[in-house]
Structures are given as C-alpha cells and as structure tokens.
Amino acid sequence: MAEPERDPGADSSAVVDRLERNVMSLGVYLERHALEEADDGTTLHLEYETAAGGLAQGDLGSVCTELVDAQEAGWEPLDCRLWAFDTEGFFLGEWFVRGGWFRALDRGLLTETDFSTLVLSTREPADDPPAPAPASPLATAPASWTGSSSEWDAGPVSVAGSASPPSLDAGAAPDPSNR
C-alpha cells in the first residue's frame, strides 16, 4: 500500500514552530514564513532577526542543526530560503539550503563538512549591510505562495504580487520602526 502524500504546509508549520522555540535562545528570532509552491517543488521561506552583524556562521549552523533534528523527527525536508535582518529591521542578506542536501546528509552521501560548505557558499550578503530592505524578502509574492505569522490571528494567507520572495504584508516593504 502506498504511503499517503505528505502535506508540506502541515510539515512546514511544525518545523517553523520548532525553529521559533529552539533558536530564539541562540539569538535567531523567526519573524515570518511562507511557502512557495512551484512546478519544481515547494520552498519554505523564512525571515528572521539576528543580533549578529551579518550572515553569521553560528546563526546558519543553529538553524541548519535544528532543521536536521526536525528531519530526524519526521519532517520531510524542503528547499529553504532564509532572509536575515538586524534587530532594527535592516536587511543583512539571504541564504538557502536544499532539501536534497538534508537527504544526502542523512544517507551518508554528504559529510557534515560538505553540507556546511554547501550552505555557507549560498550566503548572499546585502550590498552594504545593514541595508534598507529590498522590496522585501517577505513583502510581495505570487498568488501561489502562502504563509502565516505568529504576530497575526488571521492564520495562513495567500497574497498576490511579483516574483519576489513571499510576503505576509501584501506588498509593503518592511518598516524598520515596525519591528
């Protein structure tokens, strides 16, 4: 009998809750998230604040360790794109990790060093951090992207917009004074 298809949205909500709980004490504050559904798969977008001065290796390591632990607990890894902001709301940069890298690590096809090297190689710092946010990482999104935020009682939402990263702010750039 075939296994029932997993709901990436339900899995993602659980992993986001896990991240919110477990990386906050490490100085990484998950602010918002959204899912991007595309023909080539689903991507989990995460926006976070950090007191670190940029795309710190420690922050990336903390998040990836938690995602590896989530996989060991049953999460089916997705591609993840993360957007870092400082505590004043200024954009620090972005990075990503592929779902396949988690699976390769789990199967012993990648060493932890190889996995870390791949993740660190994806860092794209802002041009002159801290910088004003681009047309926000989570500011506009195609209608196929959905997300939710613990700041809102409305629950998951879909927003229309450009091909920019997903947003829960229906097109507004992040306001540093609103963080």
pLDDT tens digits, one per residue of 121-133: 999 998 775 666 6
In a domain, 1, yes or no: no
For residue 159, tell me if it sits in a domain: yes
Torsion of Cα atoms, 43 then 44 then 50 then 52, to 10°:
-30
Q: Is the pTM of this model over 0.85?
A: no
Residue 103 pLDDT > 70, yes or no?
yes
End-to-end Cα distance, the chain: 49
- Give the pLDDT band of residue 108 (cuts 50, 70, 90): very high
Question: What would the mean pLDDT of 160-169 be, rounded to a whole number?
Answer: 36
The reported pLDDT for the residue numbered 3 is: 52
> Does 172 reside within a domain?
yes
Structural domain range at position 143: 8-178
**Is position 3 within any domain?**
no
What is the sign, positive or negative, of the torsion defined by CA atoms of 128, 132, 138, 141?
negative
In a domain, 43, yes or no: yes
Q: Do the domain assignments include residue 96?
A: yes
| 3 contacts 107 by C-beta, under 8 angstroms | no
In this structure, is residue 31 part of a structural domain? Answer: yes
CA atoms of 41 and 39, how far apart (whole Å): 6
Q: How many domains does the chain have?
A: 1
**Can you tell me the distance from the alpha carbon of 109 to that of 99, in angstroms, rounded to the nearest whole number?**
14
- Residue 150's pLDDT band, with cuts at 50, 70 and 90, is very low
Residues facing residue 42 across a β-bridge: 37
Q: Is the pLDDT of residue 92 over 60?
A: yes
**Is there a contact between 144 and 37 (Cβ–Cβ < 8 Å)?**
yes
Answer whether residue 2 is part of any domain.
Answer: no
Give me the chain's average pLDDT, please. Answer: 76
pLDDT score recorded for residue 85: 94
